[in-house]
Amino acid sequence: MMFRMRLAAATVLAVLIAGCAGTTAVTPSASPVATSTVTATTAPTASSATATQATTAAISCTAPAQPLVELTEGPYYKANPPQNATLRTAGVAGTPLTLTGYVVSTSCQPIAGAKLDFWQADGNGNYDNSGYTLRGWQLTDANGAYRLETVIPGLYPGRTEHIHFKVTVNGKTYTSQLFFPGVSQNEGDSIYSSRMLVTLNTSTSPVTGTFTFVVNTA
């Protein structure tokens, strides 16, 4: 009950914020446990496809949800990245991508304050191993939502397109990778997992993607 009240309050706040921005908010489902996938691509009108929508979209999760698949960290993680949700900076190669979604428990409860640490190659398949370009962490907001401004990573030898991440909840860190649909190299990549595919809408600019990070907090 408490959760539903909090969600309702958050919904009202989100609608108010959307109203101030002169946009149309997408009303979240009545239940925090969505039984169908609703993404930013299902906007009722084109004009509502704004940044505001990302924080009011329903959670794509059906309980009990399968927790994320943990995958190798790989060789290119750098310790102590900056707190930064906007990894896409001027001059970085790659197709702009806005990735949004939530961190949730296996019962689809959103988790506020979860730490998401992303790192990835640029559109040419190159990592910044001397600095922190395309590296940064953020915390989910009060609704358990995150928003990552980045680029679609390129291929590099032996690997399909992927974004590395670590998600930390209650002091426990889960390391894995996100993948992209329709990439022919997916099936030939031994690390690839179809359960870690983002949902992508390439008709928007930037390209928009969604992914729900499900963490087993039990």
DSSP secondary structure letters along 195-215: GGBPEEETTSSSEEEE--EEE
* Least spacing, CB of residue 161 vs Fe ion, in Å: 10
171: left (phi over 0), alpha (psi -120 to 50) or beta: left
* Least spacing, CB of residue 43 vs Fe ion, in Å: 32
Q: Which is nearer to Fe ion, 74 or 154 (CB)?
A: 74
Tokens representing residue 77 in the block: 């993680």
Tokens representing residue 64 in the block: 């009990």
Q: Cα–Cα distance between 144 and 102 in angstroms, integer?
A: 5
Q: Which is nearer to Fe ion, 163 or 200 (CB)?
A: 163
User: Closest residue (Cβ) to Fe ion?
Assistant: 74
Chain positions contacting Fe ion, by CB under 5 A: 74
- Give yes or no for a contact between 149 and 87, defined as CB atoms under 8 angstroms apart: yes
Q: Which is nearer to Fe ion, 75 or 91 (CB)?
A: 75
* Least spacing, CB of residue 153 vs Fe ion, in Å: 8
Q: Which is nearer to Fe ion, 114 or 163 (CB)?
A: 163
Strand partners, 169: 172
* Least spacing, CB of residue 117 vs Fe ion, in Å: 14
Place of tokens 């299902």: 42
Tokens representing residue 6 in the block: 């909090």
* Least spacing, CB of residue 74 vs Fe ion, in Å: 4
* Least spacing, CB of residue 196 vs Fe ion, in Å: 13
Q: Which is nearer to Fe ion, 4 or 195 (CB)?
A: 195
Q: Which is nearer to Fe ion, 74 or 81 (CB)?
A: 74
Tokens representing residue 86 in the block: 């906007």
Q: Cα–Cα distance between 116 and 137 in angstroms, integer?
A: 5
Residue of 199, 175, 172 whose CA lies nearest to 76? 175
